[in-house]
């Protein structure tokens, strides 16, 4: 199975197109007002209508009506929940008929054990680093050795401080179905560094050529 690569926190059309062309399988947009990488639904749509990859909206403790409206306006086909959404809430979102990713912030084996509550209700579990104030895009990494035995019944993706310098080290320790990067590929929040994007895919090419 090909490794899925999501690049998140996109705000510019030309960068989104370049990142898709570089090899990304999903482009992510932050739908959380007041955060550094936030982009309005109408602006997202201007970008998504140019894309052929998965179009992911990232939400934080939003209600179902807000998510539904944003999905429709923004032309999204994947929803990522990055807050304290319950398994029951995830199940209720199934009515939107979109791919569903639930992000969990991991700092201990106890956090990891909570993941099993979501297996039956989502398509993908995304494991991100814990930060007491920020929900994502922190640049912090998880202790990857904790994840060696992680094997949920659904797909799982690795996030948290990944960049071209550490991605091969992470993938030597764990074998996720996908990876999610944001701050590790930026000049500033929402402004991607395309040179670093290409460095990432050069690293991944060597990884996949070695027989993943």
Tell me the domain boundaries of the chain. 4-209
User: Is the pLDDT assigned to residue 3 strictly greater than 50?
Assistant: yes
The pTM is what?
Answer: 0.93
Candidates 8, 31, 90, 180; catalytic one: 8
176 Rama class: left (phi>0) / alpha (psi -120 to 50) / beta:
beta
Q: What percent of the chain has pLDDT over 90?
A: 83
Candidates 63, 65, 111, 128; catalytic one: 128
Bridge partners of 79? 57, 100
123 assigned to active site: no
pLDDT for res 85: 97
User: Is the pLDDT assigned to residue 24 strictly greater than 80?
Assistant: yes
63 assigned to active site: no
Report CA torsion sign: 130, 157, 154, 30.
positive
What is the rounded average pLDDT for all residues in the chain? 93
Q: Look up the CATH superfamily of 4-209.
A: Aldolase class I (3.20.20.70)
Phi, psi at 73, each rounded to 5° = -65, -40
pLDDT for res 131: 53
Tokens 């050529």 map to which residue? Answer: 209
């Amino acid at each position: 199975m090909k490794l899925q690569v999501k690049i998140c926190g996109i705000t510019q059309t030309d960068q989104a197109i370049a990142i898709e062309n570089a090899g990304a399988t999903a482009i992510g947009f932050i739908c959380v007002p007041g955060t550094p990488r936030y982009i309005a639904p109408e602006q997202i749509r201007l970008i998504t209508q140019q894309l052929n990859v998965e179009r992911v909206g990232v939400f934080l403790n939003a209600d179902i009506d807000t998510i539904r409206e944003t999905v429709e306006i923004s032309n999204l086909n994947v929803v990522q929940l990055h807050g304290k959404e319950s398994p029951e809430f995830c199940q209720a979102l199934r009515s939107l008929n979109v791919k569903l990713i639930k992000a969990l912030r991991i700092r201990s084996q106890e956090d990891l054990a909570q993941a099993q509550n979501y297996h039956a209700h989502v398509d993908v579990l995304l494991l991100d680093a814990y930060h007491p104030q920020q929900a994502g895009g922190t640049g912090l990494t998880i202790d990857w050795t904790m994840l060696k035995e992680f094997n949920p019944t659904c797909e799982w993706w690795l996030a948290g401080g990944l960049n071209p310098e550490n991605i091969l080290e992470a993938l030597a320790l764990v074998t996720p179905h996908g990876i999610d990067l944001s701050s590790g590929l930026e000049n500033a929040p929402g402004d991607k560094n395309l040179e670093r994007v290409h460095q990432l895919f050069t690293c991944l090419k060597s990884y996949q050529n070695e027989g993943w």
